[in-house]
Amino acid sequence: MATTETESESGVYGDRAIAIEPGGDDFIPEDARHGTPRKLFWTWMSPNMEFATVFVGVLAVTAYGMNFWQAALGLIVGTALGAAAHYLLSARGPLHGVPQMVLGRLAFGFRGNILPATFMSVMCGVGWFATNSVSGAFALNSLTGIPKLTALLVIVVAQTAFAFFGHNLVQLLERIAFPLLTIVFALVTIVIFSKADLGMPAPAGGVGGMGGFLLTVGTAFGYGAGWNPYAADYSRYLPPTVSKVATGGYASAGLLLSCVWLELVGAASATVSSTAQGSPTDVFTASLPEPIKDLTLLAIAVGAVAANALNVYSGAMAFVTMGFRLAVRLQRALVSVAFGVIGFLVAWWALPDAAANYEAFLLIVAYWIGPWLGVVFADEYLRRGQRIDHLLYDRAYTNWGGVAAFLLGLIVSVTLFSNQEKFVGYAAKAVPQLGDITFFAGFLISAAAYVALERSRISRAAVAA
């Protein structure tokens, strides 16, 4: 394994929470490893216990024309697919001790990896940051009455501060937030389901039918799988001797349980009769008793910070893995601050029409993650049993077959199957019942293309080694 300047400093960082994590995308040596796989449960549970998760379920009913039971099936299927990928990716973290996007260099090469790392930086540092910041700001505005812009600034400063300090403080935040969020949303679940009409027919005006169901699956997958490019970032500090099954299991269980739980609450809330007006958070909390309503608004704000602490941290990590040489000890921390500023400006812009922007964003996330997963998993399959650590920091290592397979899957799947308001793919337009299966098609096309392009080369490299 090639070493980096800050590798020795990782041992000093250790398990201290109130300390700035040094370096950037460095390998974590064994003497700096700590923790158990169990902590990954709340690391991935807390960030999804927020309003953005709830709204995925709301969309399934109000926009995609599903009744509650149809929505529930689609939400479970889509989330389970994302959680299964999360299991496999998280399990690799302790073995290699590097961030997820560094592992991605195997499939794309050092320079080629800049492409998916750019997608991830924009997704985390701009897209998810803005999405979650807006819902947190709405909640804080409703709870305290402070102006929305001021509420947004409070949320942004809090989440950026956690990401600035780094890995250990981010995980401590998730652990502290976990009991609060669990208790509050348990109360919300009881109230919402007591008032919901689960037998209500699908509302008119939505997509409906198989198309609506596949849109529900795609949206749920986009939300759950949106965390996949972060997976090893939070398992890489675990000792290499920990169980891969436990590591992947706790990470995927936290993701699956939190997403399915709150998405079902969102779908159920869409069947509750209400004339409430205002922001999406106001509409969601309108049917709750006043004390629980206030607690829920607080939980939504805390959940937004818990989610975006991960988004800013991993977005900055992805940027650092692009390979730009920043001659500063705290390069990841400083990039986190820059992402906080950019994310604030985008969130400010998105405030007036948050719901429409969110619906489109969830599907777009799935568009690039499907091909990315296809290439990454195909590469892992072809390299099984091979030594790969020497390639991770080799700036001369190239793998343009991965880039080609990724672009092929992305372009073909979007051109044929995209189902956005501004662009409907040719196949989706001809067969509306397809809904939006872009992420499925992208995964399969890219995986098949990568195997076809790279099988012989990787086999030859294994023999030569």
pLDDT single digits (tens) 408-442: 999 999 999 988 777 899 998 998 888 888 989 99
pLDDT score of 363: 67
Amino acid at 155: I
Query: What's the pLDDT tens digit per position in 64-109?
Result: 999 999 999 999 999 999 999 999 999 999 999 999 999 999 999 9
Q: Is the pTM of this model over 0.85?
A: yes
Domain boundaries, the chain: 29-354
Q: Does the pLDDT of residue 382 top 80, yes or no?
A: yes
Q: Which long-range contacts (CB under 8 A, 24 or more apart) does 335-340 make?
A: 335/24, 336/160, 336/163, 336/164, 336/312, 337/160, 337/164, 339/121, 339/124, 339/125, 339/126, 339/129, 339/160, 339/163, 339/312, 339/315, 340/129, 340/156, 340/157, 340/159, 340/160, 340/163, 340/312
Q: Evaluate if residue 327 carries a pLDDT over 90.
A: no
Q: Provide the CB-side half-sphere exposure for 336 (13 A, CA).
A: 30
* Whether pLDDT at 278 is above 70: no
- Tell me whether residue 241 is exposed, middle or buried, using C-beta atoms within 10 angstroms of its C-beta: 0 to 12, 13 to 18, 19 or more: exposed
Q: Using an 8 Å Cβ cutoff, are 97 and 27 in contact?
A: yes
- Those residues with Cβ within 8 angstroms of residue 179's Cβ, 6 or more apart along the chain or in another chain: none
- Tokens representing 25 are 């995308």
**CA-CA distances (angstroms) from residue 170 to 43, 79, 206, 328?**
8, 24, 39, 22
pLDDT score, position 356:
54
- H-type helices in 286-322, by residue range? 290-320
pLDDT band at 130 (very low <50, low <70, confident <90, very high): confident
Pairwise CA distance, residues 334 & 217, whole Å: 37
Q: What is the pLDDT of residue 336?
A: 64
The tokens of 323 are what? 């390979």
Token pair for 144: 């305290």
Tell me, which fold does domain 29-354 have in CATH?
Hydantoin permease (1.10.4160)
Structure tokens at 332: 């990841």
Report helix, strand or coil for 227: coil
Q: What is the pLDDT of residues 10-40, one digit of tens each?
A: 457 777 778 888 777 889 998 889 999 999 9
* pLDDT score of 6: 44
pLDDT of residue 12: 74
Question: What is the tens place of the pLDDT at every residue in 198-216?
Answer: 999 888 777 788 888 998 9
